[in-house]
Amino acid sequence: MTTARGLTSCSASATAAVLLTSLLSAPAFADDPLASWNESPTKRAVVSFVERVTKQGGPDFVPVADRVAAFDNDGTLWSEQPTYVQAAFLIDRVKALAAEHPDWKDKQPFKSVIENGLEGTWTLSTHQVVEIVAATHTGMDVDAFQRIVEDWLTTAEHPRFKKPYTELVYQPMLELLAYLRANGFKTYIVSGGGVEFMRPWAERVYGVPPEQVVGSSVKVRYEEREGKPVLIRLPEVAFIDDRAGKPDGIYRAAGRRPIAAFGNSDGDYELLRWTTAGPGPRLGLIVHHTDADREWAYDRNSHSGRLAKALDEAPARGWLVVDMKNDWKTVFRFQR
């Protein structure tokens, strides 16, 4: 664990949380709701889409009930380099629990993580990752896991920027979330990350309430412990919300096809395809990481957020591609 660096605690007063959520849910700037975006064809296309679908009586008007927008999280709303934030959480969980499991120092896959940290995760198979998640993310009730996540976020910091992870959110995307909500959209997070990992902080950081967060999950079981009813997290996968799972996940949650989808990797390809294949006006947008100075530049060969197929097909499918270096004035709020 690292030292706290000014992150407002998840245990802050309810009043402060409500105020912050209100700010995130309102237009970011009176004159230009997308003030952190450079004036470019990409920004104009986004604004044009919103204006068309909200123009009462216009040919592309979409009723409020159908204005659903789906956002990937890692690499789309916050940074996913040098690894996914939940992977950093997993590494810290292994190290924190190692003293209770002395056999881990000689047992794979735990041995690799204990000895090599991030580098030790690159060679892990999906089965090994699931094994670590089962050992570090389950066995407790859902409320206890939420407290573990909240406590970690108050102390963990990003290795490059030395900031809390919840400050590594993209200011232009916060503005876009607020802009869409101000125009009657219901915004969902649709992520391959754990839904129980995201829900404790998504409303405070993004203005997206827990019921609009869709992610991968483990099974839970109702029990009574010490006379109290609890939901216990089990070491069994319930749902993987990645690739083809994303259209499934958002449909289960929203009951309708989104009219706008936002992603950054091939893990979002199916979500983009399903969203933009529907009738009427549609918007698909890919965040392309091209700014090595303010963030990272990566796509085809990245451990996290590999982007190849979706990028290649974007022009033919009419998907917008945000060039982070050229389309955004600001990446992170603290860089202003």
Nearest to 174 by CA among 5, 320, 8, 33: 33
pLDDT in tens, 120-147: 999 999 999 999 999 999 999 999 999 9
Does position 20 have pLDDT exceeding 50, yes or no?
no
**Distance between CA atoms of 283 and 200, rounded to whole angstroms?**
29
The interaxial angle of helices 245-254 and 269-276, nearest 10 deg, is 50
**Distance between CA atoms of 31 and 225, rounded to whole angstroms?**
55
Q: Of 19-23, 83-87, 149-153, 279-283, which gets the smallest average pLDDT? A: 19-23
Name every residue whose Cβ is closer than 8 Å to that of residue 39 and which is 6 or more positions away in sequence: none
Does position 329 have pLDDT exceeding 50, yes or no?
yes
Longest dimension (CA), the chain: 68
- The dihedral over CA atoms of 194, 137, 174, 319, expressed in degrees to the nearest 10, equals -30
Residue 280, SS3? coil
> What are the φ/ψ torsions at residue 108 (nearest 5 degrees)?
-80, 150
pLDDT in tens, 257-286: 999 999 999 999 999 999 999 999 999 999
Contact 153, 166 (CB under 8 A): yes
Burial bucket for residue 106 (CB in 10 Å: 0-12, 13-18, 19+): exposed
**Distance between CA atoms of 298 and 279, rounded to whole angstroms?**
33
Residue 56, SS3? coil
